């Protein structure tokens, strides 16, 4: 049997034994947030304000997936050749990008994950093909479910009560503004650098961007097998599922296991 103890600003999950075993220790604030999210249910006929650039939205009760597209552009990015937290200095570079496609997964109004892709033309249909990007903080392996998942480490944790149209710009600003580094092994930049000499290195990418800001539209990026619509469906199927109402202590224990442990 499991039992829960709340002491000061922490929640402790114990399993019966002699003596009892401490299984989990999480912040009280995070625990209460999970309880509140578990109690929320989508209402009928609710209105959803979509953020700018939304091309496709799939709403499945408590689960929402939004597909957002940005046009080709030059971006200022910050780059360090060391992992986050290792003291490396960031340098700023102006780089050219093709169409950028983001897929956002939300569960009961809370952000779950973001995927990043490229395209060389605007999205016209859920059957359109997605292309592998060449960004450092994006997972590369197309054979895994985590392919093209973006790292948003250190993002704000207090967005869950805000409308999706307000959350998404904050998440995008964090992704582009925090700085890119070598945190992720097997990232999309390393995978794509053999496609074309213009993206073989950061310096080459920078020089090509100066010579022709639209060159990424003519580059043969790596195509991915699932289409836009198929990836959206997969995110809903493999993501978090609506939970039953809390009825006993074991339900609370399940919530605790979803929360990172307190340090």
Residue whose tokens read 């209402």? 43
- The answer to whether the CB of 90 falls within 8 A of the CB of 78 is yes
Give per-10-residue mean pLDDT for the chain (263 aa): 82 80 83 68 60 92 92 95 68 97 92 96 97 95 87 84 90 94 88 96 97 98 96 88 59 68 62
15 domain residue, yes or no: no
Query: Of all helices (H) and strands (E), which one includes residue 174?
Result: helix 164-177
Q: Return the pLDDT at 46.
A: 56
Sheet with 129-131: list strands edge to edge.
Answer: 54-60, 63-70, 99-107, 110-119, 129-131, 223-227
Note whether residue 40 is domain-resident.
no
- Is position 250 within any domain? no
What total of structural domains would you count in the chain?
1
Question: Could you tell me if 178 and 225 are in contact, meaning their C-beta atoms sit under 8 angstroms apart?
Answer: no
Is position 71 within any domain?
yes
Question: Which residues constitute the domain of residue 99?
Answer: 48-242
Q: Does 258 map to a domain?
A: no
Strand partners, 70: 100
pTM for this entry: 0.76
| Residues 242, 62 contacting (CB under 8 angstroms) | yes
263 falls within a domain: no
Q: Is 193 helix (H, G, I), strand (E, B) or coil?
A: coil
Question: CB–CB of 165/76 below 8 Å?
Answer: no
For the segment 89-137, what is each residue's pLDDT rounded down to a tens digit? 889 999 999 999 999 999 888 899 999 999 999 999 999 999 999 999 9
18 inside domain:
no
pLDDT of residue 44: 45
Residue 7 lies in a domain: no
Q: What is the DSSP letter of 184?
A: S
CA 226 to chain centre: 18
């Amino acid at each position: 049997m499991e039992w829960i103890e709340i002491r000061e600003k922490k929640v402790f999950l114990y399993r019966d034994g002699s003596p009892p075993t401490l299984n989990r220790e999480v912040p009280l604030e995070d625990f209460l947030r999970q309880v509140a999210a578990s109690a929320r249910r989508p209402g009928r006929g609710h209105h959803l304000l979509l953020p700018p650039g939304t091309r496709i939205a799939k709403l499945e009760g408590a689960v929402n997936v939004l597909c957002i597209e940005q046009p080709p552009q030059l971006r200022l990015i910050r780059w360090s050749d060391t992992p986050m937290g290792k003291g490396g200095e960031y340098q700023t570079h102006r780089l050219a990008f093709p169409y950028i496609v983001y897929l956002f997964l939300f569960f009961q109004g809370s952000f779950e994950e973001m995927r990043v892709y490229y395209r060389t033309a605007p999205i016209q249909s859920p059957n359109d093909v997605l292309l592998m990007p060449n960004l450092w903080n994006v997972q590369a392996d197309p054979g895994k479910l985590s392919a093209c998942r973006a790292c948003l480490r250190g993002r704000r944790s207090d967005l869950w009560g805000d409308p999706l149209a307000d959350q998404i710009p904050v998440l995008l600003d964090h992704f582009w503004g925090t700085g890119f580094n070598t945190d992720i092994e097997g990232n999309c930049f390393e995978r794509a650098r053999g496609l074309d000499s213009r993206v073989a290195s950061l310096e080459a990418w920078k020089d090509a961007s100066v010579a022709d800001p639209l060159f990424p539209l003519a580059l043969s990026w790596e195509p991915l097998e699932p289409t836009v619509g198929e990836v959206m469906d997969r995110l809903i199927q493999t993501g978090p599922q609506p939970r039953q109402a809390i009825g006993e202590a074991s339900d609370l224990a399940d919530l605790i296991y979803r929360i990172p442990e307190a340090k």
